[in-house]
Amino acid sequence: MTVRPIVRYPDPRLALPAQPVTAFDGALRELATDMLETMHAAPGIGITAPHIGVSLRVVVLDLDPVDGARTYVNPEIIWASPEMIMHQEGSVSMPGVNDDIERHARLRISYRDIDGHARTEESQGLRAVCHQHEIDQLNGMFWIRRLSRLKRERLIKRFEKLSRDGAAN
């Protein structure tokens, strides 16, 4: 178990689509464990492999102390509700700033578990927001691209100031 360095915005790797996982092996398990450790150290509630510089379609979420952390390999949205919700989002790659993003209220995703078994999951609220946020990241869409240009520019300026002042390190 290793806490890995987090790729920071505006690193161009955050804008690249991640590659599908094809090998469900010990290396994938180690990656998922490292992602969980890195996410907890950040701290955060969700992380993708690209956040630690690995271009693979792997997501780890830890939203519920009862259910514990979940790993999603090659996740895809297969249905989204027409109802939308606003939720405050941020990123381990851009600590210290967040903003409200509009997302689908409910989703169904397909994915593989850590052993390669096909799964589907329905989610709503925070989990649905996290699924959309992290799948966007796997597709090379950093969350701030969902903001208006003006909001995005203000947020980037705030992050740059925090980084200069040492608060986002």
**Residue numbers annotated as active site:** 134
Q: How far apart are CA 159 and CA 34, in angstroms?
A: 26
**Helix or strand holding residue 80 (H, E):** strand 70-80
Q: How far apart are CA 60 and CA 71, in angstroms?
A: 5
Query: Per-residue DSSP letters for 131-150?
Result: HHHHHHHHTT--GGGGS-HH
Total length of the chain: 169
Whether the Cβ atoms of residue 45 and residue 69 lie closer than 8 Å to each other? no
Which structure tokens are listed for 122?
A: 């329905």
**Helix or strand holding residue 104 (H, E):** strand 99-104
Whether the Cβ atoms of residue 60 and residue 71 lie closer than 8 Å to each other? yes
